[in-house]
Structure 1
């Protein structure tokens, strides 16, 4: 079974917002969540045991919370609500997610990966194990912040870095205090803010990687000029195939590729096929359709060195919103045969499953 490296998972959010005990199996979680639920969590597809069973050595795990000063404090508030009216609140919730990851490390479920030596030692541990499940190997965690809103002021970025943060994206959906994220009619495309420009300079100095997922076009073009460090898109598909502002253009992909970056392919079907009729479920989107996105990125690069998994599974969508062949995380290994059928060699498939992300982080984590 291929070693797997996932470029984007919202593990702490699932635990704290959706009340998922990630130490349980997927089947156990599904039994606990058998009753209808109005939240967006959907049907669970992963947990720590499932990640081990899928031979997942490393994930990029998120801190995810937003500051939206225009939210109505009088609204009905749900635990899964990602929006807070003030950055001090976003900071505190973000810290709770770090605390969750730290506790899971103490319990042997995770291992923080903060530098090259830690990544190399961790990968050696996984490669030497014949049974990660029986050995109960810890899953490596590269910590990222999806949307920079938990950073109250620029000087605070160093505190987050010291806690293990190694990657930041500036915004999620709509406008943040730093940039414009995925646009909408209410929050259209727009530029970086002064705070966003200052944060990019600080990220360069600290050695924090810039994730361009979700960023809107105008903010994208400004960010890549200001920030001189390595670029990635942890979870983004091709706008040329699924034409929405959430995906990236070919030129944007080329910018990331030319800076040595990697793009993570996302499992959400509305990002694989667009338009997708949300009233016509169950859908019929397949992994072969996602392979179209993967091959397009390879064609843009002229090689297979710049794309991997960035599944975002259980990131506000569940099994109903993944390709028909993917009911749970272990099913990702079906991509081996799919990609082989599309002309990938065994070496290419290994790069996609883990090699490209391994190379990127070995090059760009601190020494």
Structure 2
């Protein structure tokens, strides 16, 4: 059996391109980038979400956000194999083609929008289709998971959620504080995603989700992306593919077979799970999953669950 097609709901290539303008996406910088076009092809990728992440030391304005989007247009979308995904029609077209990889923009941290709903609408017009309000710290919208006070959504944060619901921007709870997570579930009228979070029961890192959070997310029709961040996978070092499978199994125990996907966080991590250092090694995860689950279930994890969700919830 050949490789199954792969969806990855989170990588940080744009951050690295922003930090180092000399980098390219076409494969010439595979020592510096986890995710490159040749490696996506090697993985039989069908879809990749590109996060817009602005590090703490940069300006909290729209400028680096717009620069990141410019890099996406100039260094990613210029390759004919990459197709910009903005609508459910784009997902339909993607599924009917071969050799094409869908590329979607997400915002990881809304700091630079400075609470202005006009900025949300501008990002939507530029193609952003998913958004997480925070990184790990607090901002005008909400508290992140490492903010010690553990606050929830602010008034402006709630308005941000409502505007994203109206426009058709998916909402991402990865990085939110626990209280902000529950606020998001209460305020959003649409299903939410956790693009790159694991099970806190198995690995007690604050970036992972508690069992009741996972159950609530699933009950609301959302998606959870199992991630390959070693410290979210296992407390022991080194983490391996078997440790990733434990998170898959637990989510499945909660009835999440049709709502599980993967969010690698490639290029956002300094260390890797053994055997998962870049997309080209995903066949090893695929083989391990196929040893435990039927092929149709593994295909759902890698492709169908995420694309079905996007076909249903992206704007038409």
TM-score interval, smaller chain: over 0.9
Output the CA distance in 1 between the equivalents of 2:30 and 2:282. 19
> How far off is 1:83 after superposition?
3.4
Aligned length: 311
8 Å Cα contact 2:58-2:64 kept in structure 1: no
> How far off is 1:18 after superposition?
4.2
Corresponding position: 1:182 with 2:145: yes
Corresponding position: 1:83 with 2:54: no
Pairing of 1:4-19 with structure 2 (within 5 A): 4-19=6-21
Corresponding position: 1:215 with 2:176: yes
Output the CA distance in 1 between the equivalents of 2:291 and 2:42. 24
State the Cα deviation string for residues 149-183 of structure 1 (Å, max 9, x = none).
23231122111111111111110111111101122
Output the CA distance in 1 between the equivalents of 2:53 and 2:13. 10
Aligned to 2:246: 292
Aligned to 2:63: 92
> How far off is 1:107 after superposition?
4.1
Aligned to 2:106: 144
* Poorly superposed stretches of 4+, deviation over 6 Å: none
Output the CA distance in 1 between the equivalents of 2:157 and 2:277. 38
> How far off is 1:224 after superposition?
1.1
8 Å Cα contact 2:52-2:68 kept in structure 1: yes
2:280 to 330, 335, 342: 330
Output the CA distance in 2 between the equivalents of 1:195 and 1:316. 30
**Rg larger for:** 1
> How far off is 1:125 after superposition?
1.3
Output the CA distance in 1 between the equivalents of 2:66 and 2:82. 17
Output the CA distance in 2 between the equivalents of 1:191 and 1:338. 38
8 Å Cα contact 1:22-1:48 kept in structure 2: yes
1:21 to 24, 45, 61: 24
8 Å Cα contact 1:21-1:29 kept in structure 2: no
Superposition TM-score, scaled by structure 1 size: 0.81
Superposition TM-score, scaled by structure 2 size: 0.93
8 Å Cα contact 1:174-1:188 kept in structure 2: no
Corresponding position: 1:251 with 2:212: yes
Aligned to 1:307: 260
Output the CA distance in 2 between the equivalents of 1:213 and 1:252. 11
Change (3 A) 1:244 1:336: same
Corresponding position: 1:169 with 2:119: no
> How far off is 1:356 after superposition?
0.8
8 Å Cα contact 1:207-1:229 kept in structure 2: no
Change (3 A) 1:309 1:21: same
Output the CA distance in 2 between the equivalents of 1:178 and 1:57. 33
Aligned to 1:339: 289
Output the CA distance in 2 between the equivalents of 1:23 and 1:82. 28
Aligned to 2:97: 125
> How far off is 1:363 after superposition?
0.7
8 Å Cα contact 1:242-1:272 kept in structure 2: yes
Corresponding position: 1:350 with 2:311: no
Superposed CA RMSD in Å reads 1.7
Output the CA distance in 2 between the equivalents of 1:291 and 1:261. 20
Aligned to 1:160: 123
Change (3 A) 1:188 1:207: same
Aligned to 1:360: 309
